[in-house]
Amino acid sequence: MQTPASLEQLIEALRCLPGVGPKSATRMAYHLLQRDRKGANALAISLDTALQVVSHCQFCNTFSEQPTCPTCASGNRDNTLLCVVEMPTDMMMMEQTHAYQGMYFVLMGRLSPLDGVGPKEIHLEKLLKRAQDGLIKEVILATNYTVEGEATAHYISELISKHGVKITRIARGMPMGGEIKHVDSGTLAQAMMERRNIV
Ligand SMILES: [Zn+2]
The CA 120 to ligand 1 mean position distance, Å, reads 19
Residues 6+ apart with CB under 8 A from 17: 25
User: pLDDT tens-digit profile of 143-185?
Assistant: 999 999 999 999 999 999 888 899 999 998 888 888 888 888 8
If DSSP codes are grouped into helix, strand and coil, which group holds residue 182?
helix
From CA 21, how far away is CA 23, in angstroms rounded?
6
pTM of the model: 0.85
Q: Kindly give the distance from the C-alpha atom of residue 90 to the centroid of ligand 1, in angstroms, as a whole number.
A: 14
CA–centroid distance, residue 73 to ligand 1 (Å)? 7
Name the 3-class secondary structure at 169. Answer: strand
pLDDT digits (tens, 9 = 90+) for 92-108: 999 998 899 999 999 99
Alpha carbon of 105 to ligand 1 centroid (Å): 8
